[in-house]
Structure 1
Amino acid sequence: MAVTDSFANRATLARSVRLLSEFRFEQTDPARFYGALAEDTVDLVASLWSGACGTSPDGRTVLDVGGGPGYFADAFADAGFDYLGVEPDPREMHAGPAGVRGAGAFVRASGMALPFADDSVDVCLSSNVAEHVREPWRLGAEMLRVTRPGGLAVLSYTVWLGPFGGHEMGLTHYLGGRRAADRYARAHGHRPKNDYGSSLFAVSASAGLKWAAGTGALIAAFPRYHPRWAWWMVGVPGLREFTVSNLVLVLQPS
Structure 2
Amino acid sequence: MQALTTLARRATLARSVRLLGEFRFEQSDPARFYGGLADDTVALVEDLWTDVTGTASRGRTVLDVGGGPGYFASAFSAAGMQYVGVEPDPSEMHAGPAGEPGAGTFVRASGTALPIATGSVDVCLSSNVAEHVREPWRLGAEMLRVTRPGGLVVLSYTVWLGPFGGHEMGLTHYLGGARAAERYTRQHGHRPKNDYGSSLFAVSAADGLEWAASTGALVAAFPRYHPRWAWWVVRVPVLREFAVSNLVLVLRPS
Q: Normalized against structure 1, the TM-score is what?
A: 0.97
1:232 Cα deviation from its structure 2 partner = 0.1
Match of residue 154 from structure 1: 154
Q: Does 1:24 align with 2:43?
A: no
Letter paired with 1:185: T
Match of residue 54 from structure 1: 54
The CA distance in 1 between the partners of 2:99 and 2:161, in whole Å, is 32
The CA distance in 1 between the partners of 2:80 and 2:4, in whole Å, is 20
Structure 1 unaligned runs (5+)?
A: none
Letter paired with 1:55: T
1:44 Cα deviation from its structure 2 partner = 0.3
Q: Does 1:103 align with 2:109?
A: no
Match of residue 134 from structure 2: 134
CA contact (8 A) 1:147 1:153 kept: yes
1:243 Cα deviation from its structure 2 partner = 0.1
The CA distance in 1 between the partners of 2:76 and 2:59, in whole Å, is 11
Match of residue 216 from structure 1: 216
Match of residue 205 from structure 1: 205
CA distances 1:109-157 after superposition (whole Å, capped 9, x unpaired): 0001000100000000000000000000000000000000000000000
Helix, strand or coil: the match of 1:211?
helix
1:98 Cα deviation from its structure 2 partner = 5.0
CA contact (8 A) 1:71 1:98 kept: no
Match of residue 10 from structure 1: 10
CA distances 1:5-58 after superposition (whole Å, capped 9, x unpaired): 111110111000000110011122111100000010000000000011111111
Helix, strand or coil: the match of 1:101?
coil
Helix, strand or coil: the match of 1:219?
strand
Q: Does 1:170 align with 2:170?
A: yes
Helix, strand or coil: the match of 1:157?
strand
The CA distance in 1 between the partners of 2:220 and 2:238, in whole Å, is 19
CA contact (8 A) 2:73 2:102 kept: yes
1:97 Cα deviation from its structure 2 partner = 4.7
* Cα pair distance change 1:198/1:29, threshold 3 Å: same
Match of residue 78 from structure 1: 78
* Cα pair distance change 1:239/1:185, threshold 3 Å: same
State the 4+ residue runs in structure 1 displaced beyond 4 angstroms.
94-100
Match of residue 194 from structure 1: 194
Letter paired with 1:173: H
CA contact (8 A) 1:31 1:96 kept: no
Q: Does 1:230 align with 2:230?
A: yes
Structure 2 unaligned runs (5+)?
A: none
CA contact (8 A) 1:3 1:51 kept: yes
The CA distance in 1 between the partners of 2:47 and 2:99, in whole Å, is 27
Q: Give identity over the alignment, percent.
A: 80
CA distances 1:181-205 after superposition (whole Å, capped 9, x unpaired): 1111111111110000000000000
The CA distance in 2 between the partners of 1:4 and 1:184, in whole Å, is 40
